[in-house]
Structure 1
Amino acid sequence: MQIIKSIQNRIYEIRGERVMLDFDLAVLYEVETRVLNQAVKRNIKRFPDDFMFQLTSIEWQNMLSQIATVPQVTNPSSQFVMMANMPQNRTGKYLPYAFTEQGVAMLSGVLKSDKAINMNIAIMRAFVDVRKVLLKQNSINEQLTEIKERIGEHDVQLNELYDAMENLIDEKIAQLKWKDRERIGFKLKE
């Protein structure tokens, strides 16, 4: 269960997709990011744009602000694939790749070690758990909306009750005033 939580902490939302970044996947698969990305490049047909995309400089800067701790690596150059055709950000570092759930599933066909296979299963379970949480949240939101609508209806009904009670009170006050009025005409002594 601890590994699932660790994986869930590495799932980010970019471009409206839940994704994992290449360096996080490399850590989980216990390979260098360079090795992971080279395996992907060798099998690039398996990774269309909706399975994998490279972050822009702006997206990467936004990600750095979201990530509590950026992975500390003894050899930072191994964290990014050093290829001439890859875009760089302003610091000269290569921009990471983001893999959607389908892209991570496709990695299982590219990385064949036992560790990669077991980790891939755990990652798929983490994505499923995240989806379940989001579905529960949507269900809760729907229930809250329904409650708000009911409360709105109750407010209307309560206001009608308050108005009716005020009318009754006003009528009672009017009756009391009528009985307590000063009488005119002949007065009988009792």
Structure 2
Amino acid sequence: METKEINPSITEAMVTGKIYHIRDQKVMLDSDLSDLYQVETKQLKRQVKRNLLRFPADFMFELSDEEQKILRSQFGTLGHGKYSKYGIMAFTEQGVAMLSSVLSSERAILVNIEIIRTFTKIRAALVESNSLRSDVERIKNRLNDHDKNLEIVFNYLDELIISRENEKEPRKRIGFKPDFI
């Protein structure tokens, strides 16, 4: 059986621009997802509400009024009054994946694939970033230790120089004296 490829005309940049950081999670909003899936937001919400068991709290949550105000003021993406009747739904990566089972169109499936790929790339970039950050920290710590050790050596040298300068009598030489001197 041949699978028909439909170009969803979704780019990684389009998806990345619609991912928000809310409640310490990376999420996508229902209106943005409905734009990508080319369905009305109310249809998307209706399908989700009909299948609420598929969307536990770690898959999807509704934004509080305060969160909606903050989102509106920070990003300017939400038109005032556009969502006054219903709360905004925010979907985590797992919630977005679950949407493909609720929205049965081919476009929904293909768009979900692109979204999941984007989430995966973001996660990989974060892991790489954290790895680089830890490498830099390790190098900084080594340099700090090196600097501290050098400072200790120079302090000892300074103490030796000062103690030599403070000696009143020249020190008696110790050791082997050749006969010819």
TM-score band, normalised by shorter chain: 0.7 to 0.9
| Structure 1 residue identity aligned to 2:89 | Y
Is 2:146 the partner of 1:154? yes
**Aligned partners of 1:162, 1:2: CA distance in 2, in Å?**
62
CA distance in 2, matches of 1:100, 1:169: 66
1:32 to 1:59, Cα distance in 2 relative to 1, 3 A:
same
How far the C-alpha of 1:136 sits from its partner, in A, is 1.5
Change (3 A) 1:105 1:2: closer
Match for residue 164 of structure 1? 156
Deviations 1:12-32 (CA, angstroms, capped at 9, x unpaired): 121122111000101111111
Q: Residue type of the partner of 2:77?
A: V
Q: Which residue of 1 aligns with 2:4?
A: none
Question: Aligned to 1:6, which of 3, 14, 21?
Answer: 14
Give the root-mean-square deviation of aligned CA atoms. 2.5
Report the alpha carbon displacement of residue 133 of structure 1 after superposing the two structures with TM: 1.5
C-alpha separation in 2, matches of 1:66 and 1:10: 14
Q: Which runs of 5+ in 2 are unaligned?
A: 1-8, 171-181
Q: CA deviation at 1:93?
A: 4.1
How far is 1:157 from its partner? 0.9
Gaps of 5+ in 1: 81-91, 180-190
- Among 127, 131, 144, the residue aligned to 2:119: 127
Counterpart residue type for residue 62 of structure 1: I
Partner of 1:31: 39
Select 1:101's aligned residue among 93, 112, 120. Answer: 93
CA distance in 2, matches of 1:38, 1:150: 57
Aligned residues: 162
Give the whole-Å Cα distance in 1 for the aligned partners of 2:147 and 2:29: 49
Which residue in 1 is equivalent to 2:3? none
State the alpha-carbon separation in 2 of the partners of residues 132 and 112 from structure 1.
29
SS of structure 1 residue aligned to 2:87: coil
Alpha-carbon deviations, 1:108-145, whole Å to 9, x = none?
A: 00112121111100000111011112111211221122
What's the counterpart of residue 70 of structure 1?
A: 77
TM-score w.r.t. structure 1 length?
0.74
Indicate conservation of the 8 Å contact 2:71/2:78, yes or no: no
- The answer to whether 1:52 aligns with 2:60 is yes
Give SS of 1:95's match: coil
CA distance in 1, matches of 2:49, 2:153: 71
